[in-house]
A and B are shown apart, each in its own frame.
Chain A
Amino acid sequence: MTQPAMPKTWYVPSKPHKFCPGCGHPLILKALGEAVDELGIQNQTVYGCDIGCSLLSWNFFAIDSTQTHHGRTTPVMVGMKRARPELICVGYMGDGGGYSIGSQHLVNSAIRNEKITLILANNTNYAMTGGQLAPTTLPGQKTETTPFGRDPQLTGNPTMGPEMISTITGDGAYVARGTVAKYRQLKGFIKKALQNQMEGNGFSFVEALSTCPTNWRTNAKQTWDWLEDKMGSFYPVGELKSPFRKED
């Protein structure tokens, strides 16, 4: 029986990984790994991860990596890129690390059109700390800090991250939202986000709609329904800004 193919840039000693069964992170990280393989940039890529479930990816890749602080992956990657522009700096974070505590860094890096690539996994909750409210929690969704369901009157509407980023960032930026439900498309977006940095065009940002059956407390079918129907209808998937021609 043939083994499923792992990206070459997956670090074998840290496998099998610890992500929960049904988690979307390994799919996003597989897409990233394959993209790095195909672009041949393993040696010059540096990978940064946040706190939260993204933390589990700190030794995931056979790529130089660093864990940072919660929400501070973006500025760390900015610092790296400013110091060594030839490095391909990739930051990986969750919806909390990106849109909550990390939002000021995300916004300012986007405005400055920092030539880094950020990938954000959106699973509508703070998973690792036990399932609290996240910026992308849907209205009515129950979490440990919205035990009666998220009330937009009290906590605002869910954050539309790529929409916000695409309006404030500069020419040459690449902004997209993909979903683990459409793996090939997501991988395509991630690859372009890396290429955009390789070409030195501008800020590159991909949000990936992801699954968290553990905190959603959903079985397989319910998980995919939530991802595809609920999240899919709330968060549109596609490229919002791209310096590449359509046919690229």
Chain B
Amino acid sequence: MEKPVTGTRKVFMTGNETVAWAALAAEADIMFGYPITPQNEIMHYWTRLGAKYERGFLQTEDEISAGFTVCGAIIAGKKAFTATAGPGNTLMQEPFSMAEAMRLPTVAIIQQRGGPSSGTVIYSQQEVTLTTYGGNGEGHRIVYSTASHQEIYDYTIKAFNTAWKYRFPTFVLGDGYQAKMREPLEIYDPAEKNIEMIKPSPMVGLPGQIGIEREPQHLCNIYSMEEELYDVVLQMQAEYERIIPELVEYECRECDDAEILVISHGVVSRSTDDAVMALRSQGIKAGAFRPITLRPFPTQKLREILRSGVKKMLVAESAYGQLVRLLQQEVYGETVPIETLLMPGVGIIDADIISKVKSLVE
């Protein structure tokens, strides 16, 4: 069977297509999905390409089913993924909770759109809370927030390895703009970059005669006593904390001597980078901090930066405080005041950040 991506080459694609190609390159076996704007092209491309490379697909009756069918395929031992947005993300919290509880390596790509409810079909960063801490669990999830098509490719491949290695539901958090924008990027066979794709393994349907060669597998996500649950959750937390240093990713630009630190994630960080460059050229000591992993949040690094002379931080997001709350819990105790540039559902350009920073430094 021919590999879908061989070697490396430069291509021109939209974000959604990039997801489909990355999932192919990551050896994903099957996708389950349901139509919702703005992620439909992930399905459109997966169905066209998947047939060629013997990958499976089912358009389920809704997103709840898409999430649970992914869980089922994973329990059976195949790499499964899904993609959704907005109200679909809300519905998928039930299956994602089951994945958290049962340590299933689900991979989901979220293309944020305006919320709440049907909101807009276009763009937002309003699914941060939902994706990082949704469902009725403790947020034992891994969330990558991408800002370019190259990253969509890189992190979708990484998401499969992260999920299957650590067994926490893993998310690639994009948005409608990234989904639809067109950019060049380099697609590659992971082997070309010495990335070894972890092979999936089943939790049921194992080889061997039950009772003789092996025990039957009894999987559950419910417990009889409070103490049992307590132990399970604490153990999950301990494992999660142990791997934080291996997982955490972030980007800093001009942070070393920054007096005003602009914090943003995803596609907004592109505007932040441009804004910081412009501000610096005007003599303003601005710096940009970008968490790439929203879960686990790069707390340690951010605290270090805040203690090294930052006078103010400005959080810029296309939501009303979801990133603010996320970092507030992480940097509690730091004394740097938090300013905000909150534009729910609306794109933020460098001019927006520049004028806000200037108003704060005067």
**Physical contact A–B (CB less than 8 Å):** yes
List the count of A-B residue pairs having beta carbons below 8 Å apart: 50
Is the Cβ of B62 less than 8 Å from the Cβ of A100? Answer: yes
- What is the distance, in angstroms, from A157's C-beta to the closest C-beta of chain B? 15
How many residues of chain B get a CB closer than 8 Å to chain A's CBs? 19
- What is the distance, in angstroms, from A56's C-beta to the closest C-beta of chain B? 13
Which residues of the partner chain A approach B68 to less than 8 Å between Cβ atoms? none
- What is the distance, in angstroms, from A122's C-beta to the closest C-beta of chain B? 16
The stretch among A110-118, A139-147, A162-170, A201-209 that forms the contact with chain B is A139-147
How would residues 177 to 208 of chain B score, 1 for a CB under 8 Å from any chain A CB and 0 otherwise? 00000000000000000000000000000000
Using CB atoms, name the residue of chain A closest to B37. Answer: A129
- What is the distance, in angstroms, from B332's C-beta to the closest C-beta of chain A? 36
How would residues 34 to 53 of chain B score, 1 for a CB under 8 Å from any chain A CB and 0 otherwise? 11110010011001100100
Tell whether A7 is near chain B: CB-to-CB under 8 Å.
no
Contacts A51-B118, A129-B37, A132-B40 known; A145 to B59 CB distance under 8 Å? yes
Give the residue of B37, B44, B63, B117 whose beta carbon is less than 8 angstroms from that of A144: B44
Which residues of the partner chain B approach A71 to less than 8 Å between Cβ atoms? 62
Q: A residues 117-154 with Cβ under 8 Å of B?
A: 126, 129-130, 132-133, 135, 144-148, 154
Tell whether A182 is near chain B: CB-to-CB under 8 Å.
no
Is the Cβ of B87 less than 8 Å from the Cβ of A70? Answer: yes
Using CB atoms, name the residue of chain B closest to A71. Answer: B62
Contacts A70-B87, A100-B62, A132-B59 known; A146 to B118 CB distance under 8 Å? no
Give the residue of B36, B51, B61, B118 whose beta carbon is less than 8 angstroms from that of A129: B36
Give the residue of B37, B40, B57, B61 whose beta carbon is less than 8 angstroms from that of A103: B61
Is the Cβ of A130 less than 8 Å from the Cβ of B40? Answer: yes
- What is the distance, in angstroms, from B345's C-beta to the closest C-beta of chain A? 18
Is the Cβ of A132 less than 8 Å from the Cβ of B62? Answer: no
Instruction: Give the docked Cα–Cα distance between A135 and B60 (Å).
Output: 10
Contacts A51-B118, A132-B35 known; A145 to B43 CB distance under 8 Å? yes
Which residues of the partner chain A approach B47 to less than 8 Å between Cβ atoms? 144-147
Tell whether A184 is near chain B: CB-to-CB under 8 Å.
no
Tell whether A160 is near chain B: CB-to-CB under 8 Å.
no
Which residues of the partner chain B approach A133 to less than 8 Å between Cβ atoms? 59
Which residues of the partner chain A approach B118 to less than 8 Å between Cβ atoms? 51, 67, 69-70
- What is the distance, in angstroms, from B51's C-beta to the closest C-beta of chain A? 7
Instruction: Give the docked Cα–Cα distance between A103 and B62 (Å).
Output: 10
Contacts A69-B117, A69-B118, A129-B37 known; A145 to B61 CB distance under 8 Å? no
Using CB atoms, name the residue of chain A closest to B43. Answer: A145
Q: B residues 54-90 with Cβ under 8 Å of A?
A: 57-59, 61-63, 87
- What is the distance, in angstroms, from B174's C-beta to the closest C-beta of chain A? 18
Which residues of the partner chain A approach B36 to less than 8 Å between Cβ atoms? 70, 129
Instruction: Give the docked Cα–Cα distance between A126 and B59 (Å).
Output: 12
Instruction: Give the docked Cα–Cα distance between A211 and B51 (Å).
Output: 30
Instruction: Give the docked Cα–Cα distance between A188 and B353 (Å).
Output: 60
Which residues of the partner chain A approach B63 to less than 8 Å between Cβ atoms? 101
Chain B interface mostly: mixed
Which residues of the partner chain A approach B37 to less than 8 Å between Cβ atoms? 129
Contacts A69-B87, A69-B118 known; A101 to B44 CB distance under 8 Å? no
- What is the distance, in angstroms, from A13's C-beta to the closest C-beta of chain B? 22
Instruction: Give the docked Cα–Cα distance between A133 and B63 (Å).
Output: 15
Is the Cβ of A101 less than 8 Å from the Cβ of B59? Answer: no
How many residues of chain A get a CB closer than 8 Å to chain B's CBs? 22
Instruction: Give the docked Cα–Cα distance between A51 and B87 (Å).
Output: 11
**Which one of B57, B61, B63 has the greatest number of beta carbons of chain A within 10 Å?**
B61
Is the Cβ of A148 less than 8 Å from the Cβ of B51? Answer: yes
How would residues 274 to 297 of chain B score, 1 for a CB under 8 Å from any chain A CB and 0 otherwise? 000000000000000000000000
Is the Cβ of B51 less than 8 Å from the Cβ of A100? Answer: no
Instruction: Give the docked Cα–Cα distance between A132 and B36 (Å).
Output: 10
Using CB atoms, name the residue of chain A closest to B117. Answer: A69
Is the Cβ of B61 less than 8 Å from the Cβ of A132? Answer: no
Which residues of the partner chain B approach A126 to less than 8 Å between Cβ atoms? 35
Q: B residues 4-38 with Cβ under 8 Å of A?
A: 34-37
Tell whether A155 is near chain B: CB-to-CB under 8 Å.
yes
Using CB atoms, name the residue of chain A closest to B90. Answer: A69
- What is the distance, in angstroms, from B342's C-beta to the closest C-beta of chain A? 26
Is the Cβ of A129 less than 8 Å from the Cβ of B59? Answer: no
Is the Cβ of B44 less than 8 Å from the Cβ of A145? Answer: yes
- What is the distance, in angstroms, from B35's C-beta to the closest C-beta of chain A? 4
**Which one of A51, A101, A154 has the greatest number of beta carbons of chain B within 10 Å?**
A101
Is the Cβ of B61 less than 8 Å from the Cβ of A101? Answer: yes
Instruction: Give the docked Cα–Cα distance between A201 and B336 (Å).
Output: 67
Instruction: Give the docked Cα–Cα distance between A61 and B132 (Å).
Output: 41
Which residues of the partner chain A approach B61 to less than 8 Å between Cβ atoms? 100-101, 103, 135
- What is the distance, in angstroms, from A146's C-beta to the closest C-beta of chain B? 7
- What is the distance, in angstroms, from A170's C-beta to the closest C-beta of chain B? 24
Instruction: Give the docked Cα–Cα distance between A148 and B87 (Å).
Output: 29
Instruction: Give the docked Cα–Cα distance between A75 and B128 (Å).
Output: 29
Closest 4 A/B residue pairs (Cβ): A101-B62, A129-B35, A132-B35, A100-B61
Chain B positions near chain A (C-beta within 8 angstroms)? 34-37, 40, 43-44, 47-48, 51, 57-59, 61-63, 87, 117-118
Known: A144-B47, A155-B59. 6 other contacts (CB 8 A): A101-B62, A126-B35, A132-B43, A146-B47, A154-B58, A155-B58
Chain A positions near chain B (C-beta within 8 angstroms)? 51, 67, 69-71, 96, 100-101, 103, 126, 129-130, 132-133, 135, 144-148, 154-155
- 10 pairs from A and B in contact (CB 8 Å cutoff): A67-B118, A69-B118, A96-B35, A101-B61, A101-B62, A103-B61, A130-B35, A130-B40, A135-B61, A145-B43
